[in-house]
Amino acid sequence: MSVPQGMARALDRVVQIRNPMLHAMNEEKPRYTADTQDTAPESEEQEAQVPNAEESHADGAESDGEPASSEALNEEEEAWRDKYLRLYAEFDNFRKRTMRERADLVRSAGRDLSEAMLTVLDDFERAEAAGEGQDLAQIQEGYRLIGQKMRGILEARGVLRMEAKGAEFDTDLHEAITQIPAPSEDLKGKVVDVVEPGYKLHDSVLRFAKVVVGN
């Protein structure tokens, strides 16, 4: 079936008009996409500017709070300084009081013993005054009583006499004056005689015993 010539010309005309329109539409699509991509960063920049504004506002708030914070630090520093000065003053007073009490203790350490020994001195003076006209036995008894009284005073204060004769020689308790041949085998290395007795004050040696050791 043949197409009339008039209709064929009309179809060719439609094709000629349609092709340029399609070509133009294809060219506009990338341009529209590019325009969209160009505008997207601008919107992101605008959104990014909002946090910057908020940050600047926060910085301003912090700068406004700096004077208050500095004032609080100064007050805290003053409080700590005052506390330190008070503690230092209390410690200094305690140190001075302790030194004063210690000095008083050193000065009065032998006060009670001195007072007790005064009574012994009184007894000696009375014995000397009463010695004239008395026999030797009475004088000896008086001195024995005075010595007994003195030993009682010392023992009451922890001063005890060490029994050294016949004991093993001990350098922590005894001071050897000399050595002699032992009178018997069982006295070798032991104290044979006591020249001067030793004393202890509680558990410490007040005076070493001066002894003679058998060898």
Per-residue CA distances from 100 to 90, 93, 109 (Å) = 15, 11, 14
Pairwise CA distance, residues 57 & 41, whole Å: 24
Q: Are 154 and 207 in contact (CB under 8 A)?
A: no
CA angle 73, 79, 82 (to 5 degrees): 140
Nearest 5 degrees, angle CA 109-CA 112-CA 115?
130
Residue 97: per-residue pLDDT: 94
d(C-alpha 179, C-alpha 193), whole Å: 10
Domain 158-215 class in CATH:
mainly beta
Q: Is 87 left (phi over 0), alpha (psi -120 to 50) or beta?
A: alpha
Amino acid at 109: A
Digitized pLDDT (tens) for each residue of the chain, 215 residues in all: 444 555 556 556 555 555 555 555 555 544 444 444 444 444 444 444 444 544 544 454 445 555 668 888 888 999 999 999 999 999 999 999 999 999 888 777 778 888 888 989 998 888 888 777 778 888 888 889 999 999 999 999 899 999 999 999 999 999 999 999 998 999 999 999 999 999 999 989 999 999 999 98
- Per the confidence metrics, is the pTM higher than 0.85? no
